[in-house]
Structure 1
Amino acid sequence: MPRTLSVFPFPALLLGALLFLGGPAGAQTGEFQGVTVTVQAKDTAYGIARRAGISVEALLALNGLHSPDLKIGQTLRVSSTARHVVGPKETLYALSRRYGVSVNALLAENALPEGAVLSVGQVLTLPATATLPSPAQPTPVALAPTPGPLAALSLTLPPLLGVPQPPEPVPSAAPQAPAFAPPEPALPDAPSPDRPSAALPGDWRGMAMALLGTPYRYGGTTPAGLDCSGFVLQVFTPLGVRLPRVSADQAQVGQPVAAEELQPGDLVFFDTVGGGRISHVGIYLGGDTFVSANSYQGKVSLDTLMADRYWGPRYRGARRVLSGPLAVRGP
């Protein structure tokens, strides 16, 4: 049963409670810090919204409510912002798996560069699309006091979610994809990931297919583990095609290609974070199919392009970096 702490109308006690529950010094590592409040006797939607500094409409929308009628003991979210305090051995990949978001989304939300290494005690803001812990386990919130005498608030100490996470996935593990992750389409002539075919010199398609099933690893550039731009480098560098390291820069080289003129070997780019920033790259194979190092699947995999409900809306363009015989060479 969670411990509760009653806060009485004394400024010093209130300040101490806020520092203990919300301040960096009191934050425990490996912990989710949410923004919920438990409804007490005589609480109203208007009163809670006012103390939280939001409108009643916003309070109802955050909790999927259609009526301002509340019940004692009901847990309400009063902000869409949630945080995580980094614990020992936690990685960006492990946190992306825990909260159902991509590594790139975590980087963008916290203005971190590609290849960033987390430190113990670092506070990360979670994207709005993150899958948060069940509200049945309330986490603390500090509400601004209303004018006049301060009503007693019951603050619930946060549960620890510091479940040990593996630093990186192993090839034999089957990563659990979010509900929106697209299934891998069947592609004729594509070799099995368990038995990839050998790639001939200059055969970009054979090289890409030979890497199917390679584990996704953020910052990876070798067959032991690859991220999306590292996968593209693995395929094209042996052909003498020089490309930048990250996907956003790769989207600036070569010749732009209209969607209706896509050819096998073209690089296809996506905004998986929002705001128009290129954050993912793949290689078009033809037949509305592309191959990439997919952080959701946890490996190099095949996906549908325009017809897919996830990738289609996030497609942001293509570039042609192959020319001459390399552009038309196939299996």
Structure 2
Amino acid sequence: MIFRFTVLFLFFSLSVFSQDKYIRHKISKGDNMSVLAKKYGVKTKDIAEANPDAPKILKLNSVLLIPNKNKAVTAKTAVIVSNSAPPATPGSHEVLAKETLWGISKKYNVSVEDLKKANPLLETEGLKIGQQITIPSNAIAETEKPAETSSAPTDVEVSREVQPKETKYAIAKEFGISVAELEKQNPAIKKKLNVGYVLTIRTSKEKADSLQALSQNSQIKDPVSSPEVAAENIVVKDSSTVIRVENSSDLIDRLIESATGNIGTRYRSGGTTKAGFDCSGLMICTFNNFDIRLPRSSIEQSRIGMKVSANEAQKGDLIFFKTNGRRHINHVGMVVEVADGEIKFVHSSTHGGVMISSTKEAYYGRNFSQVNRVLQ
């Protein structure tokens, strides 16, 4: 009787030891030694030694012993690995309503040509809502860029009085914020920026200190002569006049972003709002967002700035056309991209509303008139 009890005790102890030392894994589809070794954080050799009779090709539903080098950690790791969802497949994009190839190319920092090469059907069928398109592997979506790991700065409120001839764009740039953020913090200036109005601006302590030090060490710039001030209420008929601003490339990018944000809005004769735009109305609304006033009609807009050749066209330039057999200019758009002699521009078309077109299209190539540079 004592002998039988001793044998049972030893068998139970060995079973506990065995369960403590190994994890029992039931083979499922796709399992192999390498996959299991990676899953449980052990070596393939260790699994093979624990299962000397296991065949090279594992059978479904058979059981393998996995060395349990660290019970708690290994078990926890196994649960995390098995429950974690597989990473999203990189290099694809689902087309949303009102999206354009140009917009998608800018989002992923690739050219339209690269997108077309990666998706040959786009040449014949175009974009369709819900369509999955391939993004070249070297592209990185701006929305997917890793956030910079830096300590959050302490924000402070600064009072700022509006000076004559100042604009929302110049003030926002001074504090390193967008015009939209400036208006959000000061709702009273959405319609008009009044001279003498005291703005309350929330910014980082470092920015506030640097602005205070700058004002103490130098006299306040004359807002009329300051290159940072965007032109206000401009209706110029002298074709030699160019609006000069500091870091014009930044302003041009913002203008393009504002204009292309209206893609899909319907055409409306005389329209200057999101309810509908005509061609010159789209330009007026876009530039108004940055306190730059353009004349009302396309022919008047063709008289401001400086004429440049089509070969010298740049982003932000205005491009003009004589359509429907007219002898004078009657259509305008804004250049958004120039490459290999092709000029792409955003405009409000009578047949398609706000859209992006190209001088490579026969209609616009045939009716092209001139390009004007209004910012420099």
Please indicate the TM-score interval, normalised by the length of the shorter structure.
Answer: 0.3 to 0.5
More helix by percentage: 2
Q: TM-score, normalised by structure 2?
A: 0.34
Which of the pair has the greater relative contact order for Cα pairs under 8 Å at 6+ separation? 1
